[in-house]
């Protein structure tokens, strides 16, 4: 069954159209990789799904669990289960990571009509997850991502994913800026979250990440459209032959 | 010409306000002479206006227009209303000193059970009982300013607090100004002396009892911090929305001492804190932080003059303004480093967060450096909330207003975190949260 249906999506940034009628279906419980050259619209797609301002949707629709996603504010999308792991997570000085995590989790729960977590329950949960991800406790006392290394920032994103338990995770260029060790830790964290109730969209330029997070389906994007879809072997094919063939096709 | 401009159609001239107040002002003889001279000094300029450099951004002649009549002595009903109002700010365990409409309210204050080493007298009693001697000094200051002169002319009461040498106070002194009357003005003047080696916290609140509106407050405090002493002074200004509050504070800091001043203004229509601080003893440390949380057409001004008169002192000023709607915040910070004040380390930072296109922030840092071996600097920024941070928080489930509130808290937190006492810091944070919640 489809978790996310994107139909003929057209998106402009200022006066330039970036997505020219993109159609994509993400199945429940599956990991979909989206590959493509720089400028193909991969990050735009992730931002539009998450609701980032500055993008004008001029046509098409996005249905999430059958509901009109584009009609929802970013916080409503988060509460419904959409999670974007940022390519470059921002630093927020003065907002302690723990405060941020608790505020965000309880805001989502409140929006869903669920009870807010008590402080001891919350702390226990965060400690468990951060231990699995090898995140030191003192990091959680610091401002959100302030002074974190690239790897630590990505692990902090995975920590949030584990805490919020979204039904759709979008990983935007998760491998950018990470060395192999950092990548492996982050990827292990992501793999631990794979489940029949959770879908993932793994956006990447390189095949390397897909050695660690093995996708069920691979899509190739070029010039604002999905130009080819296939199994995980498609990623290897791309690694060998490059994107040039699709640039011509699109 | 100035006298004429102080008048307006709806109010009496300042001179008739002063004349009408005569019977209510304590002190005769020399004290009365000082009052007359101070009033004459005020009348030379009248309400300060934009052509007076120090008042360039806070033009009282345009914003205020008139000097209101002196508030009457509070009656039993007023005191009862004041009592209700102070419950919202009173700190458990603190030694409370309550002034109602500028008059010390003994029945609401904790003067009967002062901590050992602390003495409190009222200004009124001191001026009345020693009026033929030299207590006129209580109305004199080194700094000269029209509103300070008006305060000297009309100061009705206040307290003179002494913390004896070596006394370490474990709970704060709390000076609470309560307004109960409307369309009147109050003038109070207090003195605080922190003895050598003593340590104290002084909290000052300005609030309105229910129904009090459109009053004018002019409170002055003259504060001495002795050698090797420490004072943390926290001011929370939450006047009624249509109020004018101009407060002046004058500090003299001895050697090897620490003064930490924090002011937060979230009430009032027109507010100004002007602090004149002289670092008079070597190796002392000064921290002055402030937060203005303003909305609608509120105007808030923090004006500092820090005088490094001797070598080897450090000063840090950190000011934050959060401005919504058509609010206007002013920060003026002057650091003077005298010729002898070598090894001075003075830094000043002011940042404004504009939540609306129509809000305005003016910052005027000034460094006057006459010594050659110093490290001084200042910085100023003004801008909106960072969209990328807002989106990150929203993408994690925080509704827009809540995301903004979290970022605003972090922004003002940079100025609040200097308050060392956990309880006082939490109170200030809670007061800032009240403002944010009213916004949501």
A→B interface, C-beta within 8 Å: 50-53, 73-75, 77-79, 83-84, 86, 89-90, 92-95, 99-100, 103-105, 107-108, 111, 143, 160, 164
Distances from the Cα of B415 to the Cα of A38, A144, B253, B320, B380, angstroms? 43, 19, 22, 7, 14
- B196–chain A Cβ distance below 8 A for any pair: no
Which whole number is the average pLDDT over A187-197? 94
- Which of the residue ranges A50-54, A203-207, B8-12, B89-93 would you say has the lowest mean pLDDT? B8-12
Closest CA to B370 of B282, B438, B307, B278: B307
Å from B388 to nearest chain A CA? 7
Dist CA A104 CA A100 (whole Å): 6
Contacts of B320 in chain A (CB under 8 A): none
Tens-place pLDDT, residues B68-88: 999 999 999 999 999 999 999
Whether the pLDDT of residue A218 is over 90: the answer is yes
CATH assignment at residue A57: 3.40.50.300
Q: What pLDDT score was predicted for residue A133?
A: 85
Are the Cβ atoms of B387 and A103 closer than 8 angstroms?
no
Q: CA of A230 to nearest chain B CA: how many angstroms apart? A: 30
Residue A190, domain extent: 2-249
Q: What is the pLDDT of residues B99-147, one digit of tens each?
A: 999 999 999 999 998 999 999 999 999 998 865 566 888 998 888 899 9
DSSP state of B114: P
Whether the pLDDT of residue B8 is over 50: the answer is no
What does the alpha-carbon distance between residue B431 and residue B167 come to, in Å, rounded to a whole number?
30
Q: How many CB pairs under 8 A join A and B?
A: 77
B287: helix, coil or strand? Answer: strand
CB spacing of B388 vs A90 below 8 angstroms:
yes
Strand partners, B412: none
Q: Which secondary structure element, helix H or strand E, spans residue B43, and what is its range? A: helix B29-45
Q: What is the DSSP string of B184-246?
A: -EEEEEEEEEE-TT-EEEEEEEEEE-TT--S-EEEEEEEEEE-TT-EEEEEEEEE--TT-EEE
Residues B298-309 have pLDDT tens digits of: 999 999 999 999
Q: Measure A184 CA to nearest chain B CA, in Å.
A: 24
Tokens of B349: 């930072």
Percentage of residues in chain B having pLDDT higher than 90: 91
Does B387 sit within 8 Å of A92, measured CB to CB? Answer: no
Integer Cα distance of B343 and B271 in angstroms = 35
Radius of gyration of chain A (CA): 18
CA A226/CA A229 separation, integer angstroms: 8
Cα→Cα distances B272→A224, B42, B248, B323, Å: 56, 17, 8, 16
d(CA B362, CA B368): 19
| Whether pLDDT at A104 is above 90 | yes
Is B13's pLDDT higher than 90? Answer: no
Give the phi and the psi of residue A8 in degrees, each rounded to 5.
50, 45
- How confident is the model at residue B436, as a pLDDT? 92
Mean pLDDT, all residues of chain B: 94
- Those residues with Cβ within 8 angstroms of residue A233's Cβ, 6 or more apart along the chain or in another chain: none
Residue B334 structure tokens: 């002057």
Say if residue B191's pLDDT is above 90: yes
Q: What whole-number distance in Å separates Cα of residue A61 and Cα of residue A75?
A: 19
The tokens describing B265, both together, are 């203004």
Please give the torsion angle defined by the CA atoms of residues B84, B89, B95 and B100, in that order, rounded to the nearest 10 degrees.
Answer: -50
Q: Give the pLDDT mean for A100-129.
A: 94
Residue B170 three-state SS: coil
How many Cβ atoms are within 10 Å of B59's Cβ, its own excluded?
17
How many C-beta neighbours within 10 Å does residue B91 have? 18
Residues of chain A with Cβ-Cβ distance to B406 below 8 Å are 95, 99-100, 103
Confidence of residue B1 (pLDDT cuts 50, 70, 90): very low
For residues B163 and B192, give the distance between their C-alpha atoms in angstroms, rounded to a whole number.
8
Give the three-state DSSP class for B414: helix
Q: B23-32, B262-271, B304-313: which has the minimum mean pLDDT?
A: B23-32
Percent of the residues in chain A that have a pLDDT greater than 70, as a whole number: 98
Crossing angle of the two packed helices A97-111 and B400-416, in degrees rounded to 10: 160
CA dihedral A157, A162, A167, A169 (to 10 degrees): 20
pLDDT at B290 over 80: yes
Measured CA distances, B260 to A63, B277, B369 (Å): 56, 11, 23
Residue keyed to tokens 């996005």: A62
Cβ(A111)–Cβ(B397) below 8 Å: yes
Q: Which pLDDT score, from 0 to 100, does residue B11 have?
A: 45
* Alpha-carbon distance A92 to nearest alpha carbon in chain B (angstroms): 7
Closest-CA residue of B relative to A111 is B397
In which band, very low, low, confident or very high, does the pLDDT at A132 lie, cut at 50, 70 and 90?
confident
pLDDT of residue A238: 86
For residue A192 the two structure tokens come to 């631990």
DSSP string for residues in B115-149: PTTEEEEEHHHHHHHTTTTTGGGGG--SS--HHHH
- Burial class from Cβ neighbours inside 10 Å (0-12, 13-18, 19+) for residue B41 reads middle
Distances (CA, A) of B12 to B4, B44, B65, B216: 11, 17, 11, 15
pLDDT exceeds 70 at position B413:
yes
- Is B388–A73 a contact, with Cβ atoms under 8 angstroms apart? no
Confidence label for B370 from pLDDT (cuts 50, 70 and 90): very high
Judged by CB atoms closer than 8 Å, whether chains meet at A100 and B393 is answered as yes
Tell me the Cα Rg of chain B. Answer: 21
Predicted local distance difference test score (pLDDT) of residue B134: 63
Confidence of residue B5 (pLDDT cuts 50, 70, 90): very low
Q: Are B281 and B255 in contact (CB under 8 A)?
A: yes
Sheet strand arrangement including A56-64: A16-27, A2-13, A56-64, A67-68
What pairs with residue B276 in β-bridges? B250, B305
Closest CA–CA distance from residue A157 to any residue of chain B (Å) = 10
Main-chain phi, psi angles of B80, to 5 degrees: -65, -40
Instruction: State mean pLDDT over B23-34.
Output: 91
DSSP helix/strand/coil, B367: strand
Q: Return the residue in B384, B395, B401, B432 with the most chain A beta carbons within 10 A, the one to mutate for interface testing.
A: B395
Number of domains in chain A: 1
Structure tokens at A232: 């995980």
CA distance B187 to chain A (A): 39
Task: Please tell me the predicted confidence (pLDDT) of residue B7.
Answer: 44
Which pLDDT score is estimated for B28? 87
Distance between CA atoms of residues B295 and B355, nearest Å: 9
Average pLDDT, chain A: 93
Give the pLDDT score at B321.
98
CA distance B391 to chain A (A): 6
The first and second tokens of residue B111, run together, are 């003067």
Q: Would you call B397 and A90 a contact, using CB atoms and an 8 Å cutoff?
A: no
* pLDDT tens, position by position, A33-48: 999 998 899 999 999 9
- In a mutagenesis test of the B interface, which of A69, A104, A158, A159 is the best target, namely the one with the most B β-carbons within 10 Å? A104
**B189 or A245: which leads in pLDDT:** B189
Quick one: tokens of B190? Answer: 């207090």
Q: Say how far apart CA B422 and CA B232 lie, in whole Å.
A: 12
In chain B, residues with a C-beta closer than 8 Å to the C-beta of A164 are: 396-397
Q: Which of B387, B402, B410 sits opposite A107 (nearest CB)?
A: B402
Quick one: tokens of B274? 């002007």
Among residues B258, B255, B198, the alpha carbon closest in space to that of B233 is found at B258
Chain A contact present for B388, CB below 8 A:
yes
- Contact residues for B212 (Cβ-Cβ < 8 A; gap 6+): B81, B179, B180, B181, B182, B240
Where are the domains positioned within chain B?
A: 74-385
CB B254 within 8 A of CB B228: yes
Q: What is the DSSP string of chain A?
A: -EEEEEEEEEEEETTEEEEEEEEEEEETT-EEEEE--TTSSHHHHHHHHHT-TT-EEEEEEEEETTEEGGGS-HHHHHHHTEEEE-SSPPPEEEEEHHHHHHHHHHHHHHHTTPPPPPHHHHHHHHHHHHHHTT--HHHHHSEETTT--HHHHHHHHHHHHHHH--SEEEEESTTTT--HHHHHHHHHHHHHT-BTTBEEEEEESSSHHHHHS--SEEEEEETTEEEEEE-THHHHHHHHH-SHHHHHH-
Kindly state the tokens that stand for B2. Answer: 């100035």
């Amino acid at each position: 069954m489809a978790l996310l249906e994107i139909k003929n999506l057209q998106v402009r940034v200022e006066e330039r159209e970036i997505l020219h009628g993109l159609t994509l279906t993400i199945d429940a419980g599956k990991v979909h990789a989206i590959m493509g050259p720089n400028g193909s619209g991969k990050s735009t797609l992730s931002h539009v799904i998450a609701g980032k301002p500055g993008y004008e949707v001029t046509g098409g629709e996005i249905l999430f669990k059958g509901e009109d996603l584009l009609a929802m504010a970013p916080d409503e999308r988060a509460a419904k289960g959409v999670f974007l792991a940022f390519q470059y997570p921002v630093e927020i000085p003065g907002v302690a990571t723990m405060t941020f995590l608790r505020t965000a989790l309880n805001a989502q729960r409140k929006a869903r009509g669920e009870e807010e977590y008590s402080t001891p329950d919350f702390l226990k949960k965060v400690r468990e997850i951060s231990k699995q991800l090898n995140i030191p406790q003192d990091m959680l006392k610091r401002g959100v991502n302030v002074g974190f290394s690239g790897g630590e920032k990505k692990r902090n994103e995975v920590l949030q994913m584990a805490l919020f338990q979204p039904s759709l995770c979008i990983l935007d260029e998760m491998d950018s800026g990470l060395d192999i060790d950092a990548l492996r830790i982050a990827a292990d964290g992501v793999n631990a979250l794979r489940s029949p109730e959770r879908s993932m969209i793994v956006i990447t330029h390189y095949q390397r990440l897909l050695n660690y997070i093995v996708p069920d389906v691979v899509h190739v994007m070029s010039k604002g459209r999905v130009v080819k879809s296939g199994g995980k072997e498609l990623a290897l094919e791309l690694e060998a032959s490059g994107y040039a063939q699709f640039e011509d096709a699109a | 010409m100035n006298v004429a401009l102080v008048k307006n159609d709806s109010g009496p001239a300042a001179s008739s306000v002063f004349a009408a107040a005569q019977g209510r002002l304590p002190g005769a003889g020399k004290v009365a002479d000082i009052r007359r001279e101070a009033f004459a000094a005020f009348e030379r300029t009248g309400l300060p206006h934009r052509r007076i450099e120090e008042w360039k951004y806070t033009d009282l002649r345009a914003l205020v227009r008139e000097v209101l009549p002196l508030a009457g002595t509070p009656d039993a009903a007023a005191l009862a209303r004041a009592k209700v109002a102070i419950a919202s700010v009173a700190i458990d365990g603190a030694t409370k000193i309550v002034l109602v409409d500028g008059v010390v309210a003994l029945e609401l204050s904790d003067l009967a059970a002062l901590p050992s080493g602390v003495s409190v007298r009222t200004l009124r009693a001191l001026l009345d009982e020693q009026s033929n001697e030299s207590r006129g000094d209580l109305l004199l200051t080194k700094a000269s300013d029209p509103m300070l002169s008006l305060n000297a002319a009309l100061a009705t009461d206040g307290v003179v607090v002494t913390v004896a040498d070596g006394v370490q106070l474990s709970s704060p002194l709390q000076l609470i100004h309560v307004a109960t009357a409307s369309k009147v003005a109050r003038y109070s003047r207090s003195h605080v002396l922190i003895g050598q080696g003593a340590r104290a916290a002084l909290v000052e609140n300005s609030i309105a009892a229910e129904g009090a509106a459109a009053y004018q407050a002019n409170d002055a405090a003259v504060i001495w911090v002795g050698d090797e002493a420490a004072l943390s002074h926290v001011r929370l200004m939450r006047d009624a929305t249509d109020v004018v509050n101009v407060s002046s504070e004058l500090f003299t800091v001895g050697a090897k001492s620490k003064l930490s001043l924090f002011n937060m203004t979230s009430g009032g229509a027109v507010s100004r804190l002007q602090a004149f601080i002289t670092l008079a003893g070597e190796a002392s440390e000064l921290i002055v932080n402030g937060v203005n949380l303003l909305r609608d057409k509120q105007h808030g001004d923090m004006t500092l003059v820090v005088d490094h008169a001797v070598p080897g002192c450090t000063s840090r000023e950190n000011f934050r303004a959060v401005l919504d709607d058509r609010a206007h915040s002013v920060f003026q910070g002057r650091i003077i480093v005298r010729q002898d004040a070598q090894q001075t380390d003075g830094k000043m930072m002011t940042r404004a967060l504009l939540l609306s296109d129509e809000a305005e922030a003016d910052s005027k840092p000034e460094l006057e450096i006459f010594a050659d071996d110093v490290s001084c600097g200042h910085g100023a920024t003004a801008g909106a909330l960072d969209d990328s941070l807002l989106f990150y928080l929203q993408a994690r489930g925080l509704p827009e207003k809540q995301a903004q509130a979290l970022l605003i808290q972090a922004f003002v937190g940079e100025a609040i975190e200097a308050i060392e006492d956990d309880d006082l810091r939490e109170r200030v944070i809670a007061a800032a949260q009240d403002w944010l919640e009213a916004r949501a």
